[in-house]
Structure 1
Amino acid sequence: MNTICFGEILWDILPQEKVPGGAPMNVCYHLNQLGQGAAIISKTGTDENGKGLLAFLQQHRVDISLVQTDERQATGTVIATQKGNEMEYDIVQPVAWDFIDVTEQLLDKVSQASYFVCGSLVARSEHSRSTLYRLLDVAKKKVIDINLRPPHYQKDTLEYLLKQADILKLNDHELTLIAGWYISETDFEKQVTFLSDQFSIPTIIITKGANGAALYHSHTFHYHNGYKVTVADTIGSGDAFLAGFLSRHITNNAPEVSLEFACKLGAFVASQKGACPPYDAREVEKLTS
């Protein structure tokens, strides 16, 4: 298995419907859609929501052999409310993915994988955070996806994750907040290079919403203005962006090529309902700026 994703697996409860979600699951889904084998480590309840999520993933040929079940905790849910083009989230706690157990099987699988992808949200609970730290100890390439959802994060936890990152993905608002903990600098590039130097992060990707994205790699900045689409909702578009970037980065594409495809996939998913729409990668390639 080339990539293993770790973290939350849940249902996004939208005003009109519920759709599968959770940033690591979304990344895993899109990597598989793009032909990159990926497995998900998480935990569901034994309830109907859990059975539904596992059925969805199996239907889309996502490896669920590392998903645990919890007889006491419910499957994760997020109550999503749309405010203009942005979504606000009420992330229910505690739920099953707050209690992911470390096992010898997980340690073995993660140590063999080329890439290990995790978000910061799963570290909100002591149990799953402890498991995450153990897995980071054995992982090869570590991809850290920052998701700052107040009140579900702590500065010391984020600092630990930043120190682990080989590839860091965050949005421009998160960049400003985190850099602001250490420096008063407001220049975008200086904030990015500070984080890269301070935490020894070789590659940093920054999404900028409708304004595209930036990539800092090998001490060089790359920019893309993004693709203009009619937004259905923005749920999961950042996760799709990360999966798009990794799908090209893993196959040794040039940094600007990886960034361009990431922007394409992120924009495409924003034009669809939910975080995991069905699609063919050729549909994404047809997008033009």
Structure 2
Amino acid sequence: MIRVAGPDGFELAESARLGTGGAEANVAIGLARLGHDAAWLGRVGDDELGARVRRQLRAEGVETHAVTDREAPTGLMLKDASHPERTVVRFYRAGSAGSRLAPADLDRLRIADAAWLHVTGIPLALSASAADAVLGAVDIARAHGVGVSFDVNHRARLWDYPTAVPRYREVVSRADVVFGGDDELGAVVGVDGAPGSPAELARAVLALGPTEAVLKRGARGAGVATPAGWEWRDAVPVAVADTVGAGDAFVAGYLSARLEGRAPGAALDRAVRAGAAACRHPGDWEGALRAADLDPVEGDPVLR
């Protein structure tokens, strides 16, 4: 979707910064920057904003499969950065091209030949056809031995947990790696009976089928549970410009390391660095690490 960022708010602002955003696209860009071949599938409108989305993704090295929808506009996201230490985000995607994603669109992707498939919970909330497309993609991946990761990415403005959880569990049960925050993973395993400690919460997710459950806690750090045990990493302290997109950068960092054959603990190391790097930039993906950034830089807590 298109991102419009207003550093002075929108009520009286006379200018704003135009860019692109979207969780799945952010992860694809993050993976491409870290040296992996990444492909993205989505829908955009037959408009100038849709053309910008396609151009931006391709410029970042992402194989872009953007279905042009002539009956719906490109989705929109407004970022109000006028509030100290917090960014207010509003989405305008009901009836957008992205909400009209459908199983037939999957023919554009070579899922069976991929090394990995990453999906989020956002399309599950957008429409029945978008949800069917996500589940269809996951089923194709599973049928061909392709790894699957799922970032819950709950959007309370789109639906509530009682409505969302059954859909989330459909994907969680088919996924190899699941990402989520405390509330998200707690909802997936059962809000009323969610375990108290981070390790117990993540292990409860494993009981639903995945082999790795990654708990994202922002500035409090992150952990991963596997059948071999639990590992924790503190967050990397940085001066924060904007936290939007940090979770997607974290996911890209984690998946990039796992795709390289690194252990979950090493993947967690890279993930917290990638998430911290994203926080230092006001854009959603513009601060994502590149492969060259993984080399040590003396005195930098991220590039070390």
AA at the equivalent of 2:270: F
For residue 40 of structure 1, what is the aligned residue in structure 2? 40
Q: Are the aligned partners of 1:206 and 1:215 in contact in 2 as well (CA < 8 Å)?
A: yes
The answer for the alignment partner of 2:291 in structure 1 is: 281
Distance 1:150-1:217 versus aligned 2 partners, 3 A rule? same
The corresponding residue for 1:117 is 118
Partner of 1:127 in structure 2? 129
Q: Which runs of 5+ in 2 are unaligned?
A: 8-16
Q: Unaligned regions of 5+ residues in structure 1, if any?
A: 1-9
- Name the structure, 1 or 2, with higher relative contact order (CA <8 Å, separation 6+): 1
Which of 19-28 and 274-283 deviates more? 274-283
Tell me whether 1:158 sits opposite 2:158 in the alignment.
no
Equivalent positions of 1:1-289 (< 5 A) are 10-16=1-7, 17-64=17-64, 66-82=65-81, 84-92=84-92, 93-103=94-104, 106=107, 109-124=110-125, 125-139=127-141, 140-153=146-159, 154-181=164-191, 183-197=193-207, 199-277=208-286, 280-285=290-295, 286=297, 287-288=300-301
* CA-CA distance at 1:237 after TM superposition: 0.6
Cα distance, 1:187–1:104 mapped onto 2, change above 3 Å: closer
- Report the CA distance shift for 1:74/1:227 in structure 2 as closer, same or farther (over 3 A): same
Q: Between 136-145 and 84-93, report the one with greater CA deviation.
A: 84-93
Moved more, 279-288 or 28-37: 279-288
Matches of 1:172 and 1:185, distance apart in 2: 10
Distance in 2 separating the partners of 1:107 and 1:159: 26
Measure the CA separation in 2 of the matches of 1:101 and 1:184.
34
Shift of 1:180: 4.0
Deviations 1:11-48 (A, max 9, x none): 22221323211010000001111110010010100111
Contact (CA 8 Å) 2:214, 2:222: kept in 1 or not? yes
Tell me, yes or no, if the aligned pair for 1:106 and 1:135 is still in contact at 8 Å: no
- The answer to whether the 8 A contact 1:233-1:273 is kept is yes
Amino acid across the alignment from 2:32: N
SS in 1 for 2:103: coil
Q: Is the 8 A contact 1:176 1:186 kept in 2?
A: no
Q: Which residue of 2 aligns with 1:4?
A: none
CA deviation string 1:234-282 (max 9, x = no partner): 1111101100111110111122211111111110011012122166433
Residue 284 of structure 1: how far off its partner (Å): 5.0
| Cα deviation code 1:212-250 (max 9, x no counterpart) | 111112341111112111111011111011001111101
CA distance in 2, matches of 1:88, 1:177: 23
1-structure distance, mates of 2:101, 2:267: 32
Asked if the contact 1:264/1:284 (under 8 Å) is kept, the reply is no
RMSD: 2.0
Query: Structure 1 stretch 263-272 or stretch 253-262: which is displaced more?
Result: 253-262
Per-residue deviation, residues 53-89 of structure 1 (Å, max 9, x unmatched): 111112222111x221101111111122345544333
* TM-score between both structures, scaled by the size of structure 2: 0.85
| 2-structure distance, mates of 1:218, 1:24 | 27
User: Which structure has the larger Rg over C-alpha atoms?
Assistant: 2
Name the CA shift for 1:180/1:85 in 2 (closer, same or farther; >3 Å). Answer: farther
**2:12 corresponding residue in structure 1:** none
Deviates more, 1:106-115 or 1:256-265: 106-115
Confirm or deny: 8 A CA contact 2:238 2:301 kept in the other structure. no
Q: Identity of aligned pairs, percent?
A: 22
The aligned length equals 278
